[in-house]
A and B are shown apart, each in its own frame.
Chain A
Amino acid sequence: MTLRFDKLGVVIAAIAAYAAFAAPFATFHANRIVPGQARSILDALPATTGPLLLAIVIVAALIALLRTPLALRLAASVVALVALALLIGVAGTFLTPAGNTFARISPASGFWILIFAFTLLLADVLTRLNLPPSARVGVLVVAALAIGLLLMWGRWDSLSILKEYSNRADSFWAEGSKHLTLALGSLLAAVIVGLPLGILCHRVESLRAGVLNVLNIIQTIPSIALFGLLIAPLGWVATHVPGAAALGIRGIGTTPAFVALFLYSLLPVVANTVVGLAGVPRAANDAARGMGMTDRQRLFSVEFPLAFPVILTGIRIVLVQNIGLATIAALIGGGGFGVFVFQGVGQTAMDLVLLGAVPTVALAFAAAIILDAVIEMTATKRRVETA
């Protein structure tokens, strides 16, 4: 029997070997600001678990390296990821001197690179399995539950990012809900305004180029400038329009952030509505007209359902973009996870940066997977119906 190598496996095994043997697994900081000292896998874990983790990493890397069945590759990646997730918590407890509340243990580059390598393996297996959209959402839910369980169970409490969290638990959830309100609220507003505007642009050709050009130009204004530019007009509205201040409209804070996100969201929604409606087959429209449908009936029962997947694609772009952009709201006092990112940058406390960045990335990632699955489901449903 000859051993055959998997091309991607060679890359994964090389990355894993570097991370396991040449890069630090965890970093020990005497307090939250000072630079840390690197610890390898064997130094960071108790005498039995260290070699165990090394063994798991080596076996999983070998499975990746050789051409092995998909099920085995799936098992190897999952086992390796779970072991890493559990043992980084063990390393946190093991490295913290007893009774010391200042010391901080954070995962180091070797840990992150190992996570990356085995996530790559998992992503490859999942891509090759060609899962239906519902199963992809299922995998996401299982992963989220597993992470949630580890958090509730307190496995990671000894790690620095969770120490930062426990100091700010209340504000974390407050900023988190502000972040979501900003991202989802501005999306909702953009859909309410953008869909009719898109339909109008589709029907009235003379309007189309103008509206799309204006929206395109808004996209070129850098986000931090647009946030800042809205402070003055909204401040003016708050002081001069009766009742505006009572509605919570202010020059600084959430309002300009909301308006800026709304303005950025309009282009993808309007442009995709126009593209989607333009892509409706002429035959479908002619048939609807022939059946005696009014313009309004045609819009709601023919054009709109056919254009829906394209419009959804626009909404996906907006949602992922808004979750990311909402971090910038913190610069103008608009709140959101960006608060922790910018505080962390200011104090050079990287664990605080992570506390803001990790949930943002996770939210954007989950939103992308869920919406991709929904888009695929509506698109295939349509194909089955029309076939």
Chain B
Amino acid sequence: MKAWLPLLLRLALVVLLVAFITSPGWFEPLLKPLTENNAPAIYNQGSLLTLTLLHLRTVLIATVAATIVAVALAILVTRPAGAEFLPLSRSLVNIGQTFPPVAVLALAVPAVGFGEKPTLIALFLYGLLPIFENALTGLTTLPANVVEAARGAGMTGWQRLTKVELPLSAPIILGGIRLSVVISLATATIGSTVAARTLGEVIIAGLLSNNLAFILQGGLIVAALAVLIYDGLSAVERYAARRMGREAD
């Protein structure tokens, strides 16, 4: 009885979200009371659908790049040849986290110009940290007997990595990707302060024209996307963990 309720709620959220970004006009009467002086209740300087897709594309590109680099780095520092870099890479990741997103965005502008590029750089840098941390945890907490068994079976270093270590760490790495995506979804909105085309555009237009309806719709679309993607990735993670016989946390 209770098991299908969360599923139903999520399904309702998906339907609502899709309905809102494809035909926002239907929701105008709901948002109208939030506006003053007959201001438009639905963002009218661009389609919400396009902005949502651009927003998701920015987050996707940054996350894919961050995943590749972070996992490669974690693999490197957990091999005997790269072990020297392990303590330093940990400190660098810690230091990296102290850079505020706004500062990274603003400082990237002189180097790459306004628009999507500084946003991608900031999202990439922020995305790296949680994925790297988790990949490191995954690769360094493998059950010793399994690794030994793989070695005993005569697997080469590469075979052990691709057939044993990475599949076993997959659930934990996925956990890092999930965290990184949720952070990026929210951070991408700040990209609109340097003219990136994301849902932040809607929120900033609302802040500038004092239009609460704009702020609300921009914020809610991003929040709904984050909740749904978080849930989806959690499900993938549980599936991977079940297959690998490891507990996801």
Contacts and interface: CB of A to CB of B under 8 A. Distances in A.
Interface string A325-336: 101100110000
B95 interface: yes
- Residue with the greatest number of chain B CB neighbours at <10 A, chosen from A220, A324, A344, A353: A220
Interface in B194-249: 194, 199-200, 203-204, 206-207, 212, 215-216, 218-220, 222-223, 226-227, 230
Interface string B95-106: 101111111001
A8 B230 CA distance: 37
Interface stretch (A170-178, A192-200, A227-235): A227-235
A338 interface: yes
Given A228-B215, A331-B193, A361-B103, A123 B88 contact: yes
B27 interface: no
A224 B212 contact: no
B109 A221 contact: no
A48 interface: no
Contact of A225 (B34, B187, B219): B219
Interface string B160-186: 000000000000000000000010011
Interface in A330-378: 331-332, 338, 341-342, 344-345, 348, 350, 353-354, 356-357, 360-361, 364-365, 367-368, 372
Given A231-B212, A341-B103, A368 B223 contact: no
B189 interface: yes
Interface string B75-110: 000000010110110111011011111110011011
A342 to B, nearest CB: 7
A331 B205 CA distance: 12
Contacts of A365: 95, 98
Nearest to A226: B219
A61 B58 CA distance: 38
Nearest to A123: B91
B190 interface: yes
Contacts of B220: 225
B197 to A, nearest CB: 15
A128 interface: yes
- Residue with the greatest number of chain A CB neighbours at <10 A, chosen from B82, B91, B101, B102: B102
Interface residues of A, number: 49
A242 interface: no
Nearest to B95: A365
Interface in A184-240: 217, 219-229, 231-232
Nearest to A106: B110
B186 A221 contact: yes
Interface in B25-41: 34
Interface of B is mostly: helix
A7 interface: yes
B157 to A, nearest CB: 18
A224 B189 contact: yes
Contacts of A229: 212, 215-216, 219
B98 A320 contact: yes
A266 interface: no
A357 B203 contact: no
A15 to B, nearest CB: 14
A220 B223 contact: yes
A228 B219 contact: yes
Contacts of A221: 186, 219, 222-223
A124 B85 CA distance: 9
Given A224-B189, A344-B106, A217 B227 contact: yes
Contacts of A327: 100, 102-103
A365 B103 CA distance: 13
A348 B193 CA distance: 12
A213 B91 CA distance: 31
B85 A225 contact: no
Contacts of B200: 222, 224
Contacts of B227: 217, 220
Given A7-B85, A232-B212, A353 B91 contact: no
A323 B99 CA distance: 10
Given A220-B185, A328-B190, A228 B99 contact: no
- Residue with the greatest number of chain B CB neighbours at <10 A, chosen from A126, A224, A332, A353: A224
A294 interface: no
Nearest to B189: A222
Nearest to B94: A368
A127 interface: yes
Contacts of B109: 345, 348, 350, 353
A42 to B, nearest CB: 24
A67 to B, nearest CB: 11
- Residue with the greatest number of chain B CB neighbours at <10 A, chosen from A226, A324, A344: A324
A164 B106 CA distance: 16
A228 B203 contact: yes
A208 to B, nearest CB: 16
B219 A7 contact: no
Nearest to B34: A232
Given A360-B100, A364-B100, A368-B98, A341 B84 contact: no
Given A124-B88, A217-B227, 7 more contacts: A8-B85, A123-B92, A228-B206, A331-B193, A331-B207, A345-B109, A357-B107
20 contacts: A127-B87, A217-B227, A220-B182, A220-B223, A221-B186, A221-B219, A222-B185, A222-B219, A222-B223, A223-B186, A226-B219, A228-B203, A228-B206, A324-B98, A325-B100, A328-B102, A331-B204, A345-B193, A357-B106, A368-B97
Nearest 9 CB-CB pairs, A to B?
Answer: A225-B219, A324-B100, A220-B226, A357-B103, A228-B215, A222-B189, A364-B98, A222-B186, A327-B102
